[in-house]
Amino acid sequence: MASPFIEIDPAFVEKTVLELAAFGAVGETGVSRTVYSPEWIGATDYYAGACAAAGLEVHRDAVGNVWGRLRGTTGEKSVASGSHIDSQTPGGRYDGALGAVAALVAVKALKEQFGQPKRTIEAVAFCEEESSRFPNANYWGSRAVTGRIAPQDSERVIAFSGETIATAMREVGLDPGRIPEARRDDISDFVELHIEQGPILEQAGLPVAIVDAITGIRHYRGVIKGVQNHAGAFPMDIRHDPLAGFAEIASGLINTAHRVGRPAVTTVGRVVVEPNFPGIIPAQVEFTIDARHPDPQARRHLYAMHEDLMQEVAKRRGLDIDWNVMIDHEPSPSDPAIVSTLQRVAGEQGVPFMTMASGAGHDSQQMAAIAKVAMIFVRSKDGRSHTPDEFSSVEDIVAGIRVLAAGLHALAY
C-alpha cells in the first residue's frame, strides 16, 4: 500500500527547533547542554510539555529519557523514534535535538491526520549521547533502554570536572539504583532522524539519505622506537629515526584509505614525539590511528593492510614498532526491511534521497540490541557539526520528517 501524503508544518518545526535551542543557548546559534545540567532540565521539561501539548502520554524513565506515547489499538510492540537532547560544549542546534523534535513532529502529524495507530508509536529524547560531560558515559540514555547499565556503573562514570554520574543523577532527583527500570523490551522498531554531520548529501545535491549501516571503527595506539642521537654528528644512512618511519607510515595509512575509496576513512589524529627537540633525532614516536569502514569484510581488509604497512616500514628502517587496539566496534547494519520501507516511502513522498552509511556513531547502534533499527539523515550545510555553525534548512528538515512520518505510518498503521 502506498503511503499517504503527510503534511508537515514548516513553521511549527522551525519554532520547536528554535525554542528547544534556547536551553543552553551560546551566542547566536550555539548550544551547550550537558546531561543533568540546569539547561538539560529546561530542555527535557520543554520536550515533555511539547509531547503533552501534542496529546501524547508523557513518561520520564529512570535515567531521564523523555518518552511521548501515542497508544495503538493492539498490544503489539512499539515503533519508536528519537535522538539525544544533550549537546557538545558548545555544539549547534541540530545534532541530536533535531531527531527528538522530528519524532515529536512526526507522531503529532500522524495523530492529527490519521488518528490512532494499530501499534503504539513513541517519540523519545534520550538524555545523553555526546559524552560532553562524562567522557565514558558511552550512550548513557539509549544504553539504559537496552538494559546494559547496572546501578553500580553510575559510580564509575566520572565527569571531566570529577563528579560521578550517580551524583549528577541524584542532583536532578533521579535514583541510580533504579537505572535497570529504564530497560525496555517492548520496542520492535526504532528509526532515528539525525543531521548528516558530513558533506556527502550537499555534494550530491540531495536533502535526505536513508542510512543502511553505522560504520565500524577501530582505534590503534602505536609506538615506534628508534635510536636517539645528535642531529648533526650522525650520518643519514645509519640512523634509526622513528620520526622518518612514522612519516612514511602516516602517509602510507592515509594513502591506503584513499586508494580503497569511500566509505573507508583513516585518520592519524595524535602524535607525540620524544624528546621533541630541534637538535635531536627522536627516540620514539607515539601515534593514534582511527580507521573506519561500514562493511565487515572490507573493514578487516583495511586493518590488515594498515598492519602490514606498519610492519614493513618498521622492518625496512630497523625500527621497533608496537601497537594495541584501544577501541574496536563492529559495523551496525540497519534492518534491511526498514531500509527498503524508508526508500519506498521517500519515493512516494516525492523526496529525493540516496542511501549511505553513517561515519559517526549514534543511539541507533545501541537500540539495535533490542530492536530493528534504521536512520534518516538530513543535509548539513558545509557538512559542519559539533560547532555552533551547524545548520540544516527547514525545507530539508521537513523533507526528512515526511520520510520519517511516512515510515512510521507504514510500520504502525
Min CB(301)–Zn ion separation in Å: 29
Cα(82)–Cα(105) distance, rounded to whole angstroms? 11
Residue nearer to Zn ion on the CB measure, 96 or 294: 96
Min CB(114)–Zn ion separation in Å: 29
Min CB(84)–Zn ion separation in Å: 6
Question: Do strands 208-214 and 332-333 pair parallel, antiparallel, or not at all (unpaired)?
Answer: antiparallel
Provide the b/e sequence for 166-185 (b: ≥16 CB within 10 Å).
bebbeeeebebeebeebebe
Cell digits for 380?
A: 548539513
Residue nearer to Zn ion on the CB measure, 33 or 306: 33
Min CB(203)–Zn ion separation in Å: 21
**Residue 158 DSSP symbol:** B
Residue nearer to Zn ion on the CB measure, 3 or 364: 364
Task: Identify the CA nearest to 374 among candidates 341, 402, 352, 400.
Answer: 341
325, 395 in Cβ contact below 8 A? no
242, 283 in Cβ contact below 8 A? yes
Residue nearer to Zn ion on the CB measure, 67 or 126: 126
Q: Give the number of other CB atoms < 10 A from CB of residue 209.
A: 26
Paired with 224 in beta bridges are 285, 321
Min CB(88)–Zn ion separation in Å: 9
Q: Summarize as ranges the residues that interact with Zn ion (CB under 5 A).
A: 95-96
Residue nearer to Zn ion on the CB measure, 96 or 117: 96
Min CB(367)–Zn ion separation in Å: 13
Q: Which residue's Cβ lies closest to Zn ion?
A: 96
Cα(191)–Cα(400) distance, rounded to whole angstroms? 12
Q: Could you give phi then psi for residue 241, rounded to 5 degrees?
A: -95, 110
**Residue 321 DSSP symbol:** E
Residue nearer to Zn ion on the CB measure, 139 or 246: 139
Min CB(95)–Zn ion separation in Å: 4
Residue nearer to Zn ion on the CB measure, 95 or 128: 95
